[in-house]
Amino acid sequence: MDSPLLVKSKQFALDVIKVCNNVKSEKKESVITNQLIRSGTSIGANIREAFYAHGKADFVAKLQIALKECAESEYWIELLVESGYYDDREILEKCIEVKKMLISSVNTAKKQ
């Protein structure tokens, strides 16, 4: 499976892991980073689950869960950036890109 959404969400998860490990080692912050690792890595897992859904409703539900996790990740990234723990906004941009793809996918799936 090489869906652009799967590829982007997996790369985002890998980026989240790197960012969180960096912040943990350099800034000794673990509360926000632990939350971000959970939500950031579950996006791709839920998208992958959606591809094995039991029908359209299950497919849409899995994508919506991924979207909620993405919105949560965006919040944790904003906290890391705005609190000064992390200063590269590229991870936030990647999160927003995945979120936009998810919104589009959910809307498309609902119309079919």
**In 3D, which of 54, 55, 57, 70 has the Cα closest to residue 103?**
70
| pLDDT tens-digit readout, 57-107 | 999 999 999 999 999 999 999 999 999 999 999 999 999 999 999 999 999
Number of domains in the chain: 1
Whether 112 is covered by a domain: the verdict is no
- Separation CA 87–CA 82 (nearest Å): 8
**Global pTM value:** 0.94
Contact 101, 1 (CB under 8 A): no
pLDDT of residue 2: 79
Give the residue numbers spanning the domain of 100.
4-107
- Separation CA 26–CA 38 (nearest Å): 20
Contact 66, 43 (CB under 8 A): yes
| pLDDT tens-digit readout, 27-49 | 999 999 999 999 999 999 999 99
Which CATH number fits the domain that encloses residue 12? 1.20.1440.60
